[in-house]
Amino acid sequence: MPSFFDSIPPRKTVPAFVGNTIERWSEARADLDFAAALARPDASVHLFEEDRAVVRPNGAGFAAAFRPDEAHALGLDADSLILLGIVDDAPRFAGRVAGSLPEGTKTVDLRSLAIDAALDMSELASLAQARSYLHWHSVNRFCGRCGGPLQTKGGGTSRTCPSCSVEIFPRVDPVVIMLAIDGERCLLGRQARFAPGMYSALAGFLEPGETIEEAVRREVMEESGIVVGRVAYHSSQPWPFPHSLMIGCHAEALSTEVDRDAEELEDCRWFDREEIRRMLAGNHPDGLKAPFPMAIAHHLIKAFAEG
């Protein structure tokens, strides 16, 4: 008997920060001997200085996992340590360092690592998990109910207040990112902060009480004035800036007259399929560009270009 999923084509390519091989180990964290796990010879640590990953050369690219003794030598803040999970049965941690780094190590932002494909895909994905967790812990040090200091629980999977017993968990901010399609055309927008000539899919945060489909229709209407009907899910992407989840969709345009939000977009217009193909290939006559392959927007646009 045919499977329901036989009609769903496999994804040919994936964006950055996808492919994390860390086993979250969620149920075991509550009983974990944190010190014993860190002392294991196969333990490793992802390090960050502010929001930039600490890396070292590894062949043509970089490596971003350090042994605990190496992490301590680089100035690891032991109080910042959290347990991400296990990789091949070995504990993987994340922590912060401060101060100057020795020769042979450097800090690089995750966007650059992704654009340059300078790390193994799974390691880049685990760095994304580490950055999001570390950021969440850094901005949730005090209780929102009583103001008391929070304590880390479960290796970093939550924080609790000893005074009022409230427990909070790491947040994920859902963002809908969608490509509205009208036959052989798709709708792209441009923000002033984009690189010269770059156009991308529209996007916006999903709000409380909304479905994904409702958020797609609202955001497209608010930013471009285009009415959307059917919405089809394509794929998703963790986006560690600081802890979002990009929910990629294609959307059926029911109207065609663009009325852009001038405060949000510098430009917004329709592009035909051939023009999109040239943007993806990097040979558009006007120098227009699609987003880098690291971004889910690139893959939404590419799926349309390929029909």
In this predicted structure, the answer to whether residue 138 has a pLDDT above a threshold of 70 is yes
Q: Rounded distance, CA 154 to CA 214, Å?
A: 36
Whole-prediction pTM value? Answer: 0.94
* Bond preceding residue 242 cis, omega within 30 of 0: yes
Which tokens is 12 given?
A: 């040919």
Q: Model confidence over 220-238: pLDDT tens digits?
A: 999 999 999 999 999 999 9
What residues does 153 pair with on adjacent strands? 158
Across the range 157-184, mean pLDDT stands at: 96
Measured from the Cβ of residue 172, the count of other Cβ atoms closer than 10 Å reads 13
Residue 170 banded pLDDT, cuts 50, 70, 90: very high
Which tokens is 283 given?
A: 């040979």
Among 235, 252, 172, which Cα is nearest to 206's? 172
* pLDDT score of 27: 67
Q: Model confidence over 15-63: pLDDT tens digits?
A: 999 999 999 876 666 666 778 888 999 999 999 999 999 999 998 889 9
CA angle 219, 225, 228 (to 5 degrees): 65
Across the range 175-199, mean pLDDT stands at: 98
Domain ranges across the chain: 1-139, 140-171, 173-305
Class of domain 173-305 as given by CATH: alpha beta
Whether the domain at 1-139 and the domain at 173-305 fall into the same CATH topology:
yes
Q: For residue 272, which amino acid is it?
A: D
Among 94, 32, 116, which Cα is nearest to 292's? 116
Q: Rounded distance, CA 86 to CA 229, Å?
A: 43
Q: Model confidence over 107-135: pLDDT tens digits?
A: 999 999 999 999 999 999 999 999 999 99
Only one residue has tokens 């812990």, namely 137
Topology of domain 1-139, per CATH?
Answer: Nucleoside Triphosphate Pyrophosphohydrolase (3.90.79)
* pLDDT score of 28: 66
